[in-house]
Amino acid sequence: MRLFIAEKPSVAADIAKALGGNFIRKNGYFESSSAIVTNCIGHIIETQPPENYNPDYKAWSMNTLPLQLYPPKYQPKEATKGQVSTIIELLRRPDITEIVHAGDPDDEGQLLVDEVLSYAGNKKPVKRVLINDNTQPAVKKALTQLKDNSQFKGMMLKALARSVADEIYGYSLTRCYSILGREKGYKGVLSVGRVQTPVLGLVVRRYRENQSHTQSLYYSLTGNFISGTDTISARWKASEFAPVDSKKRLIDRKWADGLARTLAGKPASVLAAAVDTGKELAAPLPFNLLRLQQYVNQKHKITSQETMDITQVLKDTHKAITYNRSDCSYLPDDHHAAAPQLLDALQGLDMFSRLDLDSGRKSKAFNSKNVGAHHAIVPTGNIPDLSKLTEKERHVYLAIVIYYLAQFMPKKTFNEATAEIKCGEESFFVSARCVTHDGYTSLLGNDTESEEDGEPDNNPAFDLISRLRTGETLTCNDISIQENKTKPQPLYTESSLLAAMSRAADYVSDPEIKRLLKEKDKDKKDEHGGIGTPATRAAIIETLKKRNFITIEKGKIIPTETGIALIDALPPVAVNPDMTALWAEKQNAIEEGTLSVDAFIEQLYADIGGMIQNAGVDKIQINATPRQNDGQLNRLSAPCPNCGKDIIASAKLYACTGCDFKIWATVCGKKVSAPQAESLIKKGATGLIKGFISVKKETQFDAKLTLKNKATGELGFEFPPSEKS
């Protein structure tokens, strides 16, 4: 009898269904007369705490660094002890003669099941099934193509090396800098991580670029040309000798004025004019996790962690969407064959019943060659009752649905007229579009992540431009000069930080590190030299918040003094994505068998030892601000009334770490104390507060503050009888 071990319960159910036969559901597994199918629940075992490797590690001391945590010692996670016991009992059953490893087909999925087999001391032969697609035809096909699990040992060792190295690196440097910080009076934990710290580095650098920006002026030129009774406006393109900056922006006003005087009234000629008809624009691809997080953050202000949590509910509880942590935007070709039934089910929702959908249309999203371990996030045939979803759950679910439906809608079509005009030695360009069919934009609208270049649709100038002919003579009526002010680099939002994490190589100056990061993601369609994974990035942002390294103000990510001080204290190799790049190269060598995990870890110990030796208390410039025992920014004892997460206190406001709830720390000239804020959250009102200042009447008044809206933190006043009017 075979024992199949899947990575998650949903895959176990898919395997049992594909195997056929009369499976009986038991506690933690399915069993038939010929097979048993069980599952992990993600990682169900974990490494033991450092003191279990060496009792001396219980106390934080520079003398014990770097921590020697290899080879790893495992233990069941508290929440999954029961499932670990179930799997071990099944592995030891005498009627089980062969194991089938059914973890996800990536290195993390390989390690996840292999570490359980290792912990259980399994000696029975192991096969491997690679399930890229959870549709029944695809699962059945995969089950006929089992391989020997030993073929994937390199993949497992690669993931093992990364996992162990992350723990050694993170634990050791966190202890090092926390100890040094305490010598300066800082009572918190200065956490350091291979991914977490470079993300903080991105935030700090962007903040400093923003704050140090020196405003300057540049000028946009528009040529207004007369054609018969019409005037056509065209944008100037910088010529070779024009005084421009690195972004080709004109920076000399006198030069602009001189050009305007020179060209006014001069003849001009149309160097090239054309009308391109029947141009098409395909719908954007279905969502991967990153793009979904960005989309709902921009459109509905839903945080990346909330999106993670919501998609987990939609997948596990409602069975309404496919795997939610995917980094892929493509779908297997097999999915297209199942589309008619899914489209019929989705059109059962009134809002989609009249769409121009055709299951015969096959967009570029259906391409098995571009599908890795997982495919894009799409809806399933289990259509949830929308009235029973929360508002944010509806937003996320419907976003996934409409980007899937768009694959079966007509393309957007338009005609485009363009012209290049030469006046003197200067060139001017103009273009305009006329939409001939809205296509998928009738569902998605125009504010999508499509391939459009920002040219407005249905430009009134289209008819004028389309009548221009190559060689036609025009007259320059005048040159308009618009003065513009340079803007600083925008502070990161959650959406833009997620994007930066997916292409961290773009922010690296070292050419070798840049190359290694790009090489790491060469086979991934939606990653471009990134750090972290789609499944971990939201948690990294939340971790930076909770550790008082960043705050969110009006949707913008701001580093705290603690975060800035930590980045300044660390060496460049820790602050930049260098470790991810350097490790990726070595982990590939481990997978190929040209480097052992032992040798990689030994070199890591030496590298970390050098970093610790060069660290010093003089490099820690940090304010010894009183903290609570957890080392975090001061927190209220009352959790957020909207989402239940922690609320941090700053000089300006009390803000939730998980949603948009906030209470301003000063209301009508009166400071709201932490106990008063906690009373607002727990009881819905404060006691009587005296001395509020009315802005309109410029008088003082006494009142209780009340919490009017638990989702946003909107406040109101409750006046005592003598104050009412």
Catalogue the active-site residues: 323
Token output for 358: 């055709």
Overall size of the chain counted in residues: 725
As given in the structure block, the two tokens for residue 478 are 């005048």
The structure tokens listed for 291 are: 């793009």
The CA distances from residue 306 to 271, 294, 645, 711, in Å, are 54, 12, 11, 14
Nearest by Cα to 703 from 677, 683, 685, 679: 685
The stretches of 523-577 forming alpha helices (DSSP H) are 537-546, 561-569, 572-575
CB 560 within 8 A of CB 227: no
Q: Closest Cα partner for 112 from 8, 3, 2?
A: 8
Question: What CA–CA distances, in Å, run from 703 to 274, 576, 698, 699?
Answer: 70, 51, 16, 13
d(CA 63, CA 68): 12
Distance CA 114, CA 475 (A): 76
Residues with Cβ within 8 Å of 599's Cβ and at least 6 positions away in sequence, in order, are none
Q: Give 219-287 as a 3 state SS string.
A: EEEEEEEEECCEEEEEEEECCCCCCECCCCCECCHHHHHHHHHHHCCCEEEEEEEEEEEEEEECCCCCE
The H or E element spanning position 675 is helix 674-683
Q: Is the distance from CB of 32 to CB of 10 less than 8 angstroms?
A: no
Helix (H) or strand (E) run with residue 345 in it: helix 339-346
CB atoms < 10 A from the CB of 459, how many?
A: 17
Count of alpha carbons within 13 angstroms of residue 86, beta-carbon side: 20
SS3 467: coil
For the chain, the first-to-last Cα distance in angstroms comes to 82
400 and 349 in contact (C-beta within 8 Å)? no
696: its two tokens? 């309109």
Reduced to 3 DSSP states, what percent helix, strand and coil does the chain have, rounded to the nearest 5? 40, 20, 40
Name residues whose C-beta falls within 8 Å of residue 357's C-beta, 6 or more positions apart in sequence: 343, 347, 405, 408, 409
629 DSSP 8-state letter:
T
